[in-house]
Amino acid sequence: MKKIRAGVIGGGYMGKAHSVAARSVSSVFELDAEVVLQGVAASTHESALKNARAFGAATAFKSGADLIRSDQIDAVIIASPQKTHLEYVTLCAQENKPVLCEKPMGCSLEEAHAIAEVASHLTNLVGYNYVKTPATSFARQLIQSGDLGEIVWFRGEHHEDFLANPGPRAWRQSGEANGTLGDLAGHIIQCAQALCGDIVSVVSDIAHAPQVRQQTPMPDDNDDQAHCLVKFQRGANGMLSFSRVAHGRKMGYAYEVHLTRGAIRFDQEDQNALWIYRADTSPCAGFTKVLAGPPHGDYRHFCQGAGHGTGYQDQIVIEQGEFFNAILEGRDAWPSFNDGAKVMSVIQAIRDSKKQQGWVQPASQI
């Protein structure tokens, strides 16, 4: 059996999530290969040594660059801060190694385009994991089938209370790249484009809420919440909202899709359910709750019974399953770096719209 030796760069929360996933993905997905967690790297060698012991990696590398260049590593997972993404992806391209990179793809739209371009010859995947939940995979399938008609409008939000509560959130306090637009917005923008097609125009408002933050003062360009109206290439319109000072929202990633013959709604705090309304039902009937089960997305790899559910760590396994299957099958992975660059283009357009006080078209996509 073929062996894929994976290396994970990142010693924090996402570094752990990806290290754990790399230990299980080949078994969960019954891949035609054995994925092994060969090496880890972190901000310090001491942290890498600690993670190697904790997660069962064979080697603790002194740096991310050393991991990428090592002949022990076949595929790279980047879960380090976004300021490192361009450097590490460029090294992966030079070494011709497939790469999964966590979002956001770099610190700017220019960096995102550079990342997508330099890695265009590699199998690549950007870590927008929420769109891969079984329920949202089912929503995407249902929309694409045409069973509920054409999309009319979309409402999406990603609301959290990260900064409305005290606690260490230092990486979210370091400037524009880590405001709510850099942190949260990308997830629901990527979802909107996955379900409804490319966003071609936006008008926005961006705000700060220092009176709500339970944190130390932050730079002026570190935004707390943003809202926008959007137009989609296929003719639908919609609204998007992002906040990290939303009291009580612990995982407030939610959306509604309204179509000509029905509607869909989803809330990540109940991630194993999709609510569906069909216009041909009784006028008094409301939405019907459908529990995620084996027919939906990658649910079948985890459980054979509907309603038992998948969780956050399973989403990381799912995105790695897509990544390693794409390597084995010699195909593009989804969502790709090009998809990630499209998300960053919309985020930049939201910022530009606030400055210009009007509708803005996202920059041309790769």
CATH number for position 13: 3.40.50.720
Among 126-140, 154-168, 225-239, whose mean pLDDT is lowest? 154-168
Task: Confirm if 221 and 206 have CB atoms less than 8 A apart.
Answer: no
Q: Is residue 214 part of a domain?
A: yes
Looking at residue 249, its pLDDT comes to 94
Is residue 256 a part of any domain in this protein?
Answer: yes
Q: Which domain holds residue 9?
A: 3-128
Q: Which residues of 112-128 are buried (b: 16+ CB within 10 A; e: fewer)?
A: bbbbbebbeebbbbbbb
Confidence of residue 239 (pLDDT cuts 50, 70, 90): very high
Summary count for the chain: helices (H), strands (E): 10, 14
Do residue 118 and residue 135 come from a single domain?
A: no
The answer on 85 and 136 residing in a single domain is: no
Q: How many CB atoms lie within 10 A of CB 267?
A: 17
pTM of the model: 0.94
Does residue 92 register a pLDDT over 50? yes
What is the token pair recorded at 94?
Answer: 């030079």
Characterize the bridge pairing of strands 252-259 and 151-159. antiparallel
What is the rounded CA–CA span in Å between residue 35 and residue 74? Answer: 10
Same-domain status, 143 and 117 = no
- Boundary-marking domain end, from 73, 98, 128: 128
Under DSSP, is residue 95 helix (H, G, I), strand (E, B) or coil?
helix
137 and 93 fall within a common domain: no
* pLDDT tens digits for range 282-340: 778 899 999 999 999 999 999 999 999 999 999 999 999 999 999 999 999 999 999 99
pLDDT at 36 over 50: yes
Q: Which residues pair with 158 in a beta bridge?
A: 242, 253
